[in-house]
Structures are given as structure tokens and as C-alpha cells.
């Protein structure tokens, strides 16, 4: 069973910010539709978030700590919105469990509670958005 996505006062964790990111993604998808490369959606979503005055970091390197050593494994977060929400973008036929595991791993390594997996390769973006919390 999925863990509740509410904080102590009964509200969604980073609910307002999550809605803003999803709204920006929907704006991008409405303008571009499905079928482009992930990098195109990333660039346009980054632009849209900045237009909405949401600070972002793109392709954020995410090293792994292993036995007191920093190990660069090539992990990169596509977008980090407002230093709170990990945003992993995809342009794939179907989201698989490995894609959700990737999101959860990035959230754990970055010590962030909320993540969004957004698959732009869908007719309706509502079908391509998955929110996770840890």
C-alpha cells in the first residue's frame, strides 16, 4: 500500500509547488504534444518553470556515498524544482517499475521527500504523471 502523501496538518506535502510543476508540464505538453526527445521537454519545462518564478536546477549531479567515499556513478536529476521536488522526465511508451525505482532512488540520495515522474509520450499528460513521497 502506498504511503499517505499528507503532512502533519492533513495537507499534501509540497502540494502547491507540486501543482505548479504539474501545471507547467501540462502547458508544455499542450504546446508540443507527444513524440519529441526528452531533452526538448526538459528545456521547455525548465523555461516554463522559470517563467512561473520557480527556481530550478537542471541535470543535477547526484553522487553516491559508499563507505565514507563519494562515488560518482553518473546519476543526474533531470530537474530539481525549488530545491524540494525531484522531477524525472521520460518519453517512453510505458512507465515500468524500474522508472519509479529510479525516481525513488534519486529522492533518497538527494534527501528530498517529493518526486514527480512525468512521461511526455502520452496523449493526455494526466496519464503520464506519477507523484511519490518518502
Domain boundaries, the chain: 15-133
If the chain, 134 residues long, is cut into consecutive pieces of 10 residues, what is the mean pLDDT of each piece?
47 82 98 97 98 96 86 91 97 97 95 97 96 93
> Could you tell me which residues come within 8 angstroms of residue 133 by beta carbon, excluding any fewer than 6 positions away?
3, 5, 13, 113, 114, 115
- Return the residue matching grid coordinates 514527480: 116
Answer whether 0.85 is exceeded by the pTM: yes
Q: How far is CA 34 from CA 16, 21, 41, 49, in A?
A: 26, 18, 10, 19
CB 58 within 8 A of CB 46: yes
What pLDDT does residue 68 have? Answer: 87
Q: What dotted CATH number matches 15-133?
A: 3.40.1350
What pLDDT does residue 37 have? Answer: 97
What pLDDT does residue 65 have? Answer: 83
Angle between helices 38-51 and 15-32 (to 10 degrees): 120
CA dist., res. 1 & res. 23, Å (int): 27
Amino acid at each position: 500500500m502506498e504511503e499517505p502523501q499528507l503532512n502533519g496538518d492533513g495537507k499534501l506535502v509540497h502540494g502547491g509547488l507540486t501543482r505548479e510543476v504539474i501545471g507547467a508540464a501540462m502547458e508544455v505538453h499542450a504546446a508540443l504534444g507527444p513524440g519529441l526527445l526528452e531533452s526538448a521537454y526538459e528545456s521547455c519545462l525548465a523555461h516554463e518553470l522559470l517563467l512561473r518564478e520557480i527556481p530550478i536546477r537542471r541535470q543535477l549531479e547526484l553522487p553516491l556515498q559508499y563507505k565514507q567515499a563519494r562515488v560518482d556513478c553518473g546519476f543526474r536529476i533531470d530537474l530539481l524544482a525549488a530545491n524540494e521536488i525531484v522531477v524525472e522526465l521520460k518519453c517512453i511508451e510505458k512507465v515500468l517499475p524500474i522508472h519509479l525505482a529510479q525516481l525513488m532512488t534519486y529522492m533518497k540520495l538527494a534527501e528530498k521527500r517529493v518526486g514527480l515522474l512525468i512521461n511526455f509520450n502520452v496523449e493526455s499528460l494526466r496519464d503520464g504523471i506519477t507523484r511519490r513521497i518518502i
